[in-house]
A and B are shown apart, each in its own frame.
Chain A
Amino acid sequence: MNSLKAENIEFIDNYLKNSGVQFVDVRLEMIDHVASEIEAKINDGNKSGFYNIFKNYMILNKSNLLKTNAKYYRIVDKKIFRHFLRKALSLHGVFISVIIILSWSFLERILDKSQMDYFLSNAPLWIIISFSVIYFVIVWRRKNRYSALERIGFYIMILGQIVNFSLYKRDFSILSDANNYLFMKLSVSALVFSLIILTFSVLEFKKSYQLKYETIN
């Protein structure tokens, strides 16, 4: 039984990476599929050599193979959404909510009205910047790119854009209105809650990817 050499596997890996399959969790399975197909052809008596078999396989199947990559985003989104919901509705979610409520009551006790207005008008931007920094520290300098980790980064960026959009030219003097004050408080709470859950998700996905893809020798 013939099997491909390490350099052949590396060639397939580089080819797929250069074809836009950036995430290890998607590419790894494609490499095995292509390599298994080539090995089967060699074992069936095809003597044209690795590169010719590979080239012919890709001419016929490349577009089909890359469909997996395109469809993967939808699956990853669902995976993250389920994880987010599970986490938000778990004891962790309850604990985070309690901490947020206690933090508001603490802030309202130590800050006067004008300080609170100032805090509410600036908090969203600082919160999003802080969590973005935490995210980059967690995923920074990773040799391998993983789909769910990068997708969560995209969600944090979207949250940042929403915050940016909602703060742009906003008249914070209307915070004195009770309804606006409550709206701002709820928005900041939702933002902090979502970002904490997403940060937990990043840590859990990172651990799971390391365990699955980086511990097997």
Chain B
Amino acid sequence: MKSANLYKGSLTTIILKLLNEHDKMYGYEITQRVKEITKGELQITEGALYPSLHKLEAEGLLDVEFVRVNNRLRKYYKLTELGTKETVNKLAELEDYIRTMRALVNPKFRFEE
């Protein structure tokens, strides 16, 4: 991964977006999906992922479900109704941010009126 700091602020949005596309996901699955989509460019570490998931769960944006798999318990996360609404807001915020950054780094790019 090139610059982890650039991705840090977007971790919550990435998690919400992935959960919005899947019915439910578990931690390891999220890390692997991100790695796959970004072709290894972005690798989410356990130390960053789980605290974010727990924070989103505590805020009521995620609901959890436990399933016994291969001799252990697996914790699945899924979006709550509030989480689905928050995903829309977070994605809009991220798109705004990307447009702003693009305008700053690429002078030819102009904001649409």
3 tightest A-B CB contacts, nearest first: A67-B47, A3-B70, A36-B28
Looking at chain B's contact residues, the main secondary structure is mixed
Known contacts A212-B64, A213-B66; A9 and B71 CB within 8 A of each other = yes
Closest A residue to B46 by beta carbon equals: A65
Kindly list chain B residues whose C-beta atoms are within 8 Å of the C-beta of A37. 28
Question: Which of B72-95 touch A at CB < 8 Å?
Answer: 72-75
Please determine whether B47 and A28 come into contact, CB atoms closer than 8 angstroms: no
Asked if A32 and B75 make an inter-chain contact with CB atoms under 8 angstroms apart, the answer reads: yes
Interface segment, one of A70-78, A123-131, A149-157, A177-185:
A70-78
Residues of A within 8 A of B58 (CB): 75, 78-79, 82
Report which B residues bind A (CB closer than 8 A).
Answer: 26-28, 32, 45-48, 50-51, 54-55, 58, 64, 66-75
Kindly state the separation between the CA atoms of A95 and B36 in the bound complex, as whole angstroms.
Answer: 54
Q: What chain A residues lie within 8 Å of B69 (beta carbons)?
A: 32
Residues of B within 8 A of A46 (CB): none
- Further contacts, 13 of them, CB under 8 A, given A32-B27, A40-B32: A3-B70, A4-B70, A4-B71, A28-B75, A30-B50, A31-B72, A35-B72, A36-B28, A63-B47, A64-B46, A64-B47, A66-B47, A78-B58
**Residue of B26, B48, B50, B67 with highest tally of chain A CB at under 10 A:** B50
Residue A68, interface by CB 8 Å: yes
Contact (Cβ within 8 A) B47 A32 = no
23 A-B residue pairs with CB within 8 Å = A3-B70, A4-B71, A28-B72, A29-B75, A30-B50, A32-B28, A32-B69, A32-B72, A35-B70, A40-B32, A65-B46, A67-B45, A67-B48, A68-B46, A68-B50, A72-B54, A78-B55, A78-B58, A212-B64, A212-B66, A213-B66, A213-B73, A216-B67
